[in-house]
Structure 1
């Protein structure tokens, strides 16, 4: 029977199934009514999981929480991991801490289960079912009738020894599978980040993948703030993450120095740990806070909290999550570098287009204008003079617009312009969304050098008002903006082809349109 039990124990590779099979086999083999296998936390010394046999769900619910592993016979076996045989639990001085609702038990036997040289847990059996089975196996060496015998204890020691080997194999198998999942997750994150996601989407991807892999309640990414703290900038939870986004760990928080220093922080209970100061800490229990850094550069921190009362993170969990954080940080740096290279390529292309427009188009237009001007002077007919004059004016207007386009190409996208020309172009570009077309803009004179900041602000205010008025008019299809600096005065002229409305300020209705004029001394 023992040989068959040993062979059966070694057939499972899934750890939890192996543990349940061990306790069921031991209970049946020893003829016990109740059996339990308690997994011991090597760092904390308590019981983290309890696998039982002979106890139904109703009884388990009535017993309540797991034993803490600090008192009673269970605590004694954890503190002194040696085989233990007790004829009567109630008469033993080491017995204590039995919770209300616990089934009545008398005889007890317990043996430690070792994996290599480390105690993995303990196997407990109670309530020997009569003395018949023990007497048959033990003969003259058996113990008292109705209690566990020394043969039962010897048999359990053999079973526990083989169980240690089976548990070791199952743990290796589970660790390999978990490591494979973390590696696959890290690869998926790297692929997603290098396919062109935005910075915000990239951080959300890291947070979500890490939460799923760690079986955490939430996955959040924090980044340093200008005030010296750290702020949650991305979050993934099963609930609404909105209340997490924007949460700040203030400067001076005990945990902050470790985070900003690039150190990992492992917390047993976020709700009660004095180092935690955020308002959301009361929702969480065990937590890992891992640095996202690459090449000595701290990008942020990846936090993976579990719900209050959740299973603590093991050493393997911490190792795999730390490796994931390191690879995710490298992927974030590479994605950021890729984005910078793409932006640089755009800038270089814009510069090339601007140079081509200036060196080829503008110069050729200017040469054509000069040829037409020379032809007009030689022409005698009045109608020819008028026609050539119109052509020259059109070429001059085209040259001004091409130069304006060149200037706009030289401005970095998505950045606030610093020059007066750039600010004017930004105003007209914003109005284009309302008008449905891009207004034409002309600059005459050294506007950037001569227009002071106070005058520039007043002119821009007047420009906004003129563009808004043009938008309100009916039938507007073109808008021309001219900014001219001449003889110590800056002039703004905004002309459109719409019909003037009553009360349109300093506007005058010209032929086929409306004109707004504004000027100020430099």
Structure 2
């Protein structure tokens, strides 16, 4: 009986050896599969060129390789702080429930301070555990590995909650370390690619700005082009251009592009109370890694959900024209030092180009003014003198004309010559205007008349006599412009005229405005409210106003006010 059982012993030993061999083969196959998966992951990560895409791909790949439920990549900034946190494995609802992202405390902070791989069976039982923020899902096992880029710690990979309830082992750690090494190369390549792309964009943008200015483009168009190029260079989600108002006490958003731009356009910021104002006064750039964590609850950028911000002065320290503001959405990488240096150089270069364009425009304007002054002198010294001599000759001829109708015609010719001389003198005053003619009273009158031409379909006649810019005080000028605007508006809306004439005369301590058209006339109820406004403005200045029928059958407005208020 004993001899029958003894042959079974070698058979049992063989089965054990075969089972052990099978287990080792399975382990080898599993290791082979993980190595293949690691190699495939390295190739996949290295194929990305966008830095943000590379970081997310690294996190997803590491989570998959070690069968973790959750993963994250934390980018380390200056002073060993987390400037970006990329989570994987959390749903949008779970993310929304978390009070705040990790702030570099606990095990995460330990890994930042001591950049060495770290494994832990239970996070809560570790001596450095700081706990989770409110709303954070529970997590047990932990594996952290640093990512180095050229011997510099770029960030850390955090992997938690190994599926099946187990712990991360040495093989998991080795795989993630190998992936982190490849990730460092991929991050470096992505950085180099973005740097080359930025430089290419910078060169193209500089060329576009210079070309636009040399081709005579409007300054606002050039500023908008600079802002658009700056946004493209830095891959920002929002760009603003803030320019000072005349007193330089406030900044106005004159250009904005991106999400929420329509809300920001036209906004006014006090220089002494804002970051942009500080950049404007100091002439130095300023950046913020995350506006959401900054103590500025009233900031529009924070309200719109923007995080990283970069502000650059538009111009050099001695002559800052405005401020260029760029922002990215919360969670994105902050602007780098390279971004800041490149953008500052680009803004200064664009400002110099604008200065040169201004100088060129000033030179052209000076040449134009010199031509206008020469034309005015020729009109005064030659044309008017010849017309005046002709009129004097005709006046002396009247006595020699016997027939009354012939004398009447000669007198009419003399009157026409006098009228022509007055019109030429008015043109001379306009030609001899200063560089600020557009802001003078004469310039504003011309602008109103020319503006009405587009609505009337023809250019109204305009005659200005006397020293209008010198004699008319500013309060009277404001009333004059308002009355002229009302009169031209009435001609446009009601008269159906084909001709209109405007006379502005300042002489003998009295200002006269006369607007005449050949339209349909006043009618029984036409323009009464407008007439009341005109009469009220004349009355408050001690003058008179009234409508009458013109010689052409239309309407004539006569508005007269004294240039010196009578003593009360």
TM above 0.5, yes or no, is yes
What CA distance in whole angstroms lies between the structure 2 residues aligned with 1:67 and 1:466? 62
Where 1:298 maps in the other structure, the secondary structure is: coil
Which of residues 337, 344, 351 is equivalent to 2:373?
351
For residues 23-422 of structure 1, what are the structure 2 equivalents within 5 Å?
32-33=67-68, 36=71, 38-43=73-78, 44-46=80-82, 48-50=84-86, 55=89, 68=102, 70-86=104-120, 92-95=126-129, 97=131, 102=137, 105-106=140-141, 109-124=143-158, 148-149=169-170, 153=173, 157=177, 160-192=180-212, 194-225=214-245, 226=247, 228-239=249-260, 241-249=262-270, 251=272, 256-270=277-291, 273-274=294-295, 281-283=302-304, 284-294=306-316, 296-307=318-329, 311-373=333-395, 376=398, 384-411=406-433, 415-417=438-440
Deviation per CA, 1:75-108: give whole Å up to 9, x if none: 32222112334466565434553577758654x5
Where 2:355 maps in the other structure, the secondary structure is: helix
Equivalence for 1:139: none
What CA distance in whole angstroms lies between the structure 2 residues aligned with 1:427 and 1:67? 60
Cα RMSD of the aligned pairs, angstroms, is 5.2
What CA distance in whole angstroms lies between the structure 1 residues aligned with 2:201 and 2:240? 20
TM-score, length-scaled by structure 1? 0.72
What CA distance in whole angstroms lies between the structure 2 residues aligned with 1:458 and 1:315? 52
Uncovered stretches (5+) of structure 1, i.e. residues with no partner = 131-144
- Give the deviation of 1:294 after TM superposition: 3.2
1:12 is aligned to 2:33: no
What CA distance in whole angstroms lies between the structure 1 residues aligned with 2:72 and 2:385? 89
**2:280–2:323 Cα contact (<8 Å) kept:** yes
Where 2:320 maps in the other structure, the secondary structure is: strand
Count of aligned residue pairs for this structure pair: 498
**1:47–1:66 Cα contact (<8 Å) kept:** no
What CA distance in whole angstroms lies between the structure 2 residues aligned with 1:19 and 1:222? 34
TM-score, length-scaled by structure 2? 0.67
Structure 1 pair 330–86 and aligned structure 2 pair: CA distance change class (3 A): same
- Give the deviation of 1:291 after TM superposition: 1.0
Deviation per CA, 1:375-401: give whole Å up to 9, x if none: 555556655544433333322322222
What CA distance in whole angstroms lies between the structure 2 residues aligned with 1:377 and 1:152? 122
Structure 1 pair 463–399 and aligned structure 2 pair: CA distance change class (3 A): farther
- Give the deviation of 1:262 after TM superposition: 0.9
Q: Give the helix-richer structure, 1 or 2.
A: 2
- Give the deviation of 1:57 after TM superposition: 5.7
Which is worse superposed, 162-171 or 490-499? 490-499
Structure 1 pair 196–37 and aligned structure 2 pair: CA distance change class (3 A): same
What CA distance in whole angstroms lies between the structure 2 residues aligned with 1:129 and 1:507? 93
Structure 1 pair 276–365 and aligned structure 2 pair: CA distance change class (3 A): farther
